[in-house]
Amino acid sequence: MIGIYCRHRARLEGPTLAEQLERYRWLIVAIFSIPLVAGVVFLVERRLDDPDPPIVRSSSEPIADIRVYVTGAVQNPGVYPLTEDSRWVDAIEAAGGFAPDANPEAVNLARRVQDEDHIVVPRAGQPVAAGVSQGPLDINSASESDLISLPGIGEERARRIVASRAQDGPFSTPEDLLARELVPESVFEDIAAFITVSP
């Protein structure tokens, strides 16, 4: 009788706390999960809205995109990138330095590089243009006698250069001597270090 009474009383009193927690545990978990999910969504949205981080450039990057062509009596002829404050000595060092048969005195190592410079280092024994110490010869104003002083430029080539300058206009770059077929590539490589054009 006592057992029957206890069971009857339990039914009247309802489920215990443990039974209630077990029955509604998923609901409780869901209720507590809502703030957590909302917080994660909020953080992700803020992260997506953040501006892009600033780009920090290394101070070792070149100041400008300058390329120079180094040929002649150097260890590794080729095209090399340099910064805009570089000089010809830096270009020659980039090319591995002078070759054993180079004539370093024929090159103005202190001259500043410019984009598309063609630096030719003469070999020992090659003729050096007159007046090199005063700077390169301006082929837009040089006379025939001035041009003849350049390596590989005789009377006929000097005459053709002056005539082309008069008929076709001033030279824009030293390479115009090649474009107008006034000198061959081999001669141009010998004189490129000694010539320039007026701006």
What pLDDT, on the 0 to 100 scale, is given for residue 161?
A: 95
184 Cβ contact list (under 8 Å, min separation 6): none
Confidence of residue 5 (pLDDT cuts 50, 70, 90): very low
pLDDT at residue 35 in the model:
67
Q: Which residues contact 137 (CB under 8 A, 6 or more apart)?
A: 129, 131, 146, 147, 149, 150, 194, 195, 196
More reliable by pLDDT, 167 or 128 = 167
Of the listed ranges 18-22, 47-51, 162-166, 194-198, the one predicted with least confidence: 47-51
Please calculate the CA angle 192-198-199 and round it to the nearest 5 degrees: 120
Distance, CA of 189 to CA of 183 (rounded, Å): 10
The enclosing H or E element of 163 equals helix 155-168
Predicted confidence (pLDDT) at residue 95 exceeds the cutoff of 90: yes
* pLDDT, position 25: 65
Question: Tokens at residue 82, please?
Answer: 């340099």
d(CA 58, CA 61): 6
CA-to-CA distance for 129 and 148, rounded, in angstroms? Answer: 9
User: pLDDT at position 90, please?
Assistant: 94
Helices and strands: H and E segment counts in the chain: 8, 5
Please calculate the CA angle 39-45-46 and round it to the nearest 5 degrees: 90
Predicted pLDDT of residue 28: 66
Annotate 98-118 with b (16+ C-beta within 10 A) or e (fewer): bbeebbeebbbeebebeeebb
pTM to 2 decimal places? 0.40
Domain ranges in the chain? 2-49, 66-196
d(CA 18, CA 10) in angstroms, rounded, equals 14
pLDDT, tens only, 11-67: 545 556 566 556 666 666 667 667 676 666 666 666 655 555 544 444 454 445 788
Residue 165 one-letter amino acid:
R
Mean pLDDT, rounded, of the chain: 76
* CATH 1.10.150 is right for the domain spanning 66-196: yes
